Amino acid sequence: MAVRGPSLSVRIREFKDSDYDSLAEILNAIYPDHRTDVEDLREDDKRFDKERYVRKRYVAVDDTSDQVIAFGVYSHIPGMFDPQRFRVDIFVHPFWWRRGVGTRLWHRILEDLRDLKATVVLAVARESLPNGLEFLRKLESLAS
Ligand SMILES: CC(C)(COP(=O)(O)OP(=O)(O)OC[C@H]1O[C@@H](n2cnc3c(N)ncnc32)[C@H](O)[C@@H]1OP(=O)(O)O)[C@@H](O)C(=O)NCCC(=O)NCCS
């Protein structure tokens, strides 16, 4: 089991266009067998109908290095659309796991979802990475 490291000083800010490189780097570090690149990510965003649906990303920046080390995104689910139903995904670069960064992003996103009066929040974790399941269990237990 991974040991919890000391908490980090991070700031959470909205995603900017110049963050696509960091997004690709973080995803490829987490899922080396399913590599993606900036082009794919941009293309996916272009295809997402922003006129009809909400999709918003935040990034976590390490205060010491000024590096983007994680991101979180929430969005409507076009395939099963309900204005108050959202999917949330959080991705932290493995180097920074278990230091409270994912939890910080989760709380930031929940603030927005409360304002949007979300009634259903879906989050998915791959079984191949058990920390995702543990993370969601922990957040679920905090919410209940
Ligand atoms: C899941 C993920 C977002 C967690 O981010 P993180 O910054 O490492 O998580 P935190 O440090 O905030 O941990 C919060 C809690 O999650 C649980 N947790 C996280 N990683 C864990 C691990 N490796 N083993 C056991 N519990 C774990 C713990 O309960 C932890 O609380 P604690 O440290 O006080 O015990 C990160 O591991 C990741 O990006 N995984 C790949 C993508 C993914 O599965 N995302 C989740 C779907 S939304």
Task: Name residues contacting ligand 1 (CB within 6 A).
Answer: 1-2, 4, 30, 88-92, 97-103, 123, 125, 129, 131-132, 134-135, 138
Q: How far apart (Å, rounded) are the C-alpha atoms in residues 120 and 103?
A: 19
The superfamily (CATH) of domain 10-143 is Gcn5-related N-acetyltransferase (GNAT) (3.40.630.30)
Q: Please answer whether residues 40 and 13 qualify as being in contact, where contact means their C-beta atoms are separated by less than 8 angstroms.
A: no
Please determine, for residue 40, whether its predicted confidence score (pLDDT) is greater than 70: yes
Quote the pLDDT of residue 6. Answer: 77
Quote the pLDDT of residue 15. Answer: 98
Q: Which atom of ligand 1 is nearest to the CA of 2?
A: 23
Q: Which atom of ligand 1 is nearest to the CA of 135?
A: 16
What pLDDT, in 10s, does the model give residues 77-129?
A: 999 999 999 999 999 999 999 999 999 999 999 999 999 999 999 998 888 88
Q: Which two tokens stand for residue 92?
A: 């932290």
Quote the pLDDT of residue 8. Answer: 84
Q: Please answer whether residues 25 and 18 qualify as being in contact, where contact means their C-beta atoms are separated by less than 8 angstroms.
A: no
Please determine, for residue 26, whether its predicted confidence score (pLDDT) is greater than 70: yes
For 20, counting Cβ atoms within 10 Å of its Cβ (0-12 exposed, 13-18 middle, 19+ buried), the class is middle
